[in-house]
A and B are shown apart, each in its own frame.
Chain A
Amino acid sequence: MLSQYIANGLQAGSITALIGIGFLIIYRTSGFFHFAQGIILTLSAYSVFFLLATGQLNLPLISIIFAILFIYGFGLLMEASIFQPLRGRGASGTTLLIASLGIYIVIQNSISLLFGDDTLSFRWWSVKPGLPLLGARFTTPQIAIILCSWVILVLTWVFIRYSKIGKRIKAVANDPTLARMVGIDVERIYLWAMGLGSALGGIAGILIACDTDIMPTMGMNPFMMGMVAAIIGGNTIWGTAAGALLLGMAKHIGIIWIPTRWQDAITFIILLGFLLFRPQGFSGKRKRKAAV
């Protein structure tokens, strides 16, 4: 029994980690709260549905790859056509946040118009009991969620840490002005961050859709969880991963003792706790006041 709760928590934690990292990369680099990341999840799932279920393309894996590429391109387009011009006019983080919220609303309603509000499914396998493993049951999509999330997490970490672009992303995240001074093309890095973040969000959206199908509002809750994980994780990749695991486990193991109606509240109680007692998150260092 307990192992099933842990398995559920692990699955929730893994997908939350992946979403959290996607959000984190954009948030840390571009420095604004990218709300539309929530709809990126939805949009990529609907892209797969469009390619697969409406008979445009009957090859699951290729459809998924196309959808991820589309979402990557969509992220670049969003950055180049909306955020970059706004930034050029000296828009503040709040303005960008509102623009991002606008994108969220427009796309969500467009999806509703095009595909309707009912639950849709692009599942191409039949529903079967999961495989028993250490006293818990895992279905194939759930195993895929856990494996993909962690593999991609490690790859992202390697990319950010060792590649040239990754290092630049880090530099811009730490101090855009200084980065510009040493000759980094900051606008290009913003593009990279948005594309990468969108692709990660897109993968997460498709994984969620494999497990629980698609509807126009599917992205919001997972996105909120990922965002909270990034905040309590203290803005680092492994901090976010740890935060996500904590959230997932707390959500699923917590309800053994407390009534299920509090399941969603758990996430935000943890967030409040961190904001009050450890605002720098898991891994962040407490900032000292700069000496003048």
Chain B
Amino acid sequence: MRVKSFSLVLGLALAFLFSSCGKRSSINKVEVTVGSVLPLTGPVASYGKNAKSGVDMALQEINSEGKLKIHVIYEDDAGEAQTAVSATQKLIYTDKVPLIIGEAASGLSLAIAPVCNSNKVVLFSPISSAAELTEKGGDYFFRVCPSDAFQARVLADWLLSQKLTLVSLLFINNSWGVSLKDEFVLYYTKGGGTVLSTETCNEGDRDFKSHLTKMAKPKVQAFVAFTYGKEGGPFLRQASELGIKLPIYGGDVWGSPELLEAAGESAEGVYFTFPASPKSEKYEAFAKKYRAQYGKEPDVYAAYAYDLAYVVANAFTSGAKTGEQLRQFLVSMTPYEGVTGKTQFDRNGDVVTKTFDRKMIKNGKYVIAE
């Protein structure tokens, strides 16, 4: 009796196995669902929307190839941590996704990383670059954008190599800005530089005249500002309106078209560090397609998100299904050659293959400095 029921179960199992095999070989398609938590409305929606555009564009290409179909359930957190946590829980417990694309702001990634880690769901960010996420992001946090620790070092070296040893600094008061500032001050002072004044602003601030007045100390040689393009625009405009002619250095976010729109002529001659794109042909093709589809220049996040979607597709193609398997794939994968250059991760989930270029704005275009 026991043997009989065992053989029955075995027989059924085999039948199912074969039937599912037959199904797969006849359609030859794997369908997977992943989640996404990004700000699609609210004050920082532009970052989330650009990332979504990048993901969507990549998925159109991947899904049209026919081998793999990836669905993304987009949850909007409006840039608020509490909403982001609820959205993450919904994606994990209700939709049972093995991977979540998100978040934009580093502070929000910090907020949802514990939920993802305790459920063994991969959290994969195209934007969050705060240095503290290396440790606090846990085993399941990965990012396509390089950590700010690296960027801060590149920027500090750049200033020191230009013999600029006295600077004033402005940073945005959130996880991203604070960690970038901390890392920068660390490397810069170690290399012999002095930060004369350190000013703070908030996301969405528009009036920097008094910040600038305070930063313009008598001996200062340059300004360093870690703000997004949204604040960077008025900051640069007001600097030239106040007649400040010092060189101004910023972070990678200043490579967003929004900065040019708001700063206009005053963006001329501004320096910033920007992720290097070695395969410029591939990037150009991407940018051309993006322009045709969305009618605007892609920003760096759209490009990161585009590469991110391809890495996710590769992970699923390799046969990974659960969060644990996806994590294993990401940690051990061979470098992926995308539009933003090579992508490969270390054990902390930080990308190790991205370098930064020294860039500047000249005649309204982004060019390599020097």
**Using a CB–CB distance below 8 Å, which chain A residues touch chain B?**
1, 4-5, 8-9, 11-12, 109, 112, 116-121, 123, 126-130, 132, 137, 139, 142, 208, 212-213, 215, 217-218, 221, 251-252, 255-256, 259-261, 263-264
Chain B nearest CB from A116 CB (Å) reads 7
Is B264 on the interface with A (CB-CB < 8 A)? yes
Judge whether A129 and B243 touch: CB under 8 Å: yes
Is B234 on the interface with A (CB-CB < 8 A)? yes
Known contacts being A112-B45, A127-B237, A139-B241, is A121 close to B210, with CB within 8 Å? no
A198→B261 CA distance, assembly (Å): 28
Q: Could you pull out 30 A-B pairs where Cβ atoms are within 8 angstroms? A: A4-B209, A5-B210, A11-B209, A12-B207, A112-B45, A116-B49, A117-B49, A119-B229, A119-B261, A121-B261, A121-B264, A126-B265, A127-B241, A127-B263, A128-B240, A128-B241, A130-B242, A137-B241, A208-B206, A212-B206, A212-B234, A212-B237, A217-B43, A221-B204, A221-B206, A252-B209, A252-B210, A259-B199, A261-B173, A261-B200
A261→B214 CA distance, assembly (Å): 13
Judge whether B266 and A127 touch: CB under 8 Å: yes
Q: How many A-B residue pairs have CB under 8 A?
A: 101
Judge whether B213 and A215 touch: CB under 8 Å: no
A261→B200 CA distance, assembly (Å): 5
Closest chain A residue to B236, Cβ basis: A127
Judge whether A130 and B243 touch: CB under 8 Å: yes
A7→B275 CA distance, assembly (Å): 39
A210→B232 CA distance, assembly (Å): 17
A281→B241 CA distance, assembly (Å): 36
Instruction: Kindly identify, within residues 194 to 240 of chain B, every residue whose CB is under 8 Å from any CB belonging to chain A.
Output: 199-202, 204, 206-207, 209-211, 213-214, 229-230, 233-234, 237, 240
Chain A nearest CB from B226 CB (Å) reads 14
Chain A nearest CB from B297 CB (Å) reads 11
Known contacts being A119-B229, A119-B262, is A217 close to B204, with CB within 8 Å? yes
| Set of chain A residues within 8 Å of B237, measured between Cβ atoms | 127, 212
**Residue from B49, B210, B229, B230 whose CB has the most chain A CB atoms within 10 Å:** B210
Q: With A213-B262, A259-B200 given, name 16 new contacts (CB 8 A).
A: A4-B213, A8-B210, A9-B210, A117-B44, A118-B257, A118-B261, A126-B265, A127-B266, A212-B206, A217-B204, A221-B206, A255-B210, A255-B211, A260-B200, A260-B201, A260-B211
| Set of chain B residues within 8 Å of A5, measured between Cβ atoms | 210, 213
Interface of B, helix, strand, loop or mixed by DSSP = helix
Is B41 on the interface with A (CB-CB < 8 A)? yes
Chain B nearest CB from A130 CB (Å) reads 5
A211→B162 CA distance, assembly (Å): 33
Is B46 on the interface with A (CB-CB < 8 A)? yes
Closest chain A residue to B197, Cβ basis: A260
3 nearest A-B residue pairs (beta carbon):
A261-B200, A212-B206, A129-B243
A8→B206 CA distance, assembly (Å): 13
Is B252 on the interface with A (CB-CB < 8 A)? no
Judge whether A260 and B199 touch: CB under 8 Å: yes
Instruction: Kindly identify, within residues 235 to 260 of chain B, every residue whose CB is under 8 Å from any CB belonging to chain A.
Output: 237, 240-243, 257-258
Judge whether B233 and A119 touch: CB under 8 Å: yes
Judge whether B45 and A129 touch: CB under 8 Å: no
| Set of chain A residues within 8 Å of B49, measured between Cβ atoms | 116-117
Chain B nearest CB from A216 CB (Å) reads 8
| Set of chain A residues within 8 Å of B263, measured between Cβ atoms | 127
A215→B45 CA distance, assembly (Å): 11
A48→B240 CA distance, assembly (Å): 25
A257→B261 CA distance, assembly (Å): 33
Judge whether B242 and A127 touch: CB under 8 Å: no
| Set of chain B residues within 8 Å of A264, measured between Cβ atoms | 202
Closest chain A residue to B44, Cβ basis: A117
Judge whether B207 and A212 touch: CB under 8 Å: yes
Judge whether B230 and A119 touch: CB under 8 Å: yes
A256→B217 CA distance, assembly (Å): 12
| Set of chain B residues within 8 Å of A212, measured between Cβ atoms | 206-207, 234, 237
| Set of chain B residues within 8 Å of A130, measured between Cβ atoms | 241-243
Chain B nearest CB from A5 CB (Å) reads 6
Known contacts being A8-B213, A129-B241, A252-B210, is A116 close to B46, with CB within 8 Å? yes
| Set of chain A residues within 8 Å of B173, measured between Cβ atoms | 261
Interface string of B254-291 (1 = CB under 8 A from A): 00011001111110000000000000000000000000
Closest chain B residue to A262, Cβ basis: B200
A109→B264 CA distance, assembly (Å): 26
| Set of chain B residues within 8 Å of A218, measured between Cβ atoms | 206
A29→B200 CA distance, assembly (Å): 39
| Set of chain A residues within 8 Å of B199, measured between Cβ atoms | 259-260
Chain A nearest CB from B295 CB (Å) reads 10
| Set of chain B residues within 8 Å of A255, measured between Cβ atoms | 210-211, 214
| Set of chain A residues within 8 Å of B257, measured between Cβ atoms | 118
| Set of chain A residues within 8 Å of B262, measured between Cβ atoms | 119, 121, 213
| Set of chain B residues within 8 Å of A259, measured between Cβ atoms | 199-200
Closest chain B residue to A218, Cβ basis: B206
Judge whether A118 and B264 touch: CB under 8 Å: no
A279→B202 CA distance, assembly (Å): 29
Chain B nearest CB from A245 CB (Å) reads 15
| Set of chain B residues within 8 Å of A142, measured between Cβ atoms | 241
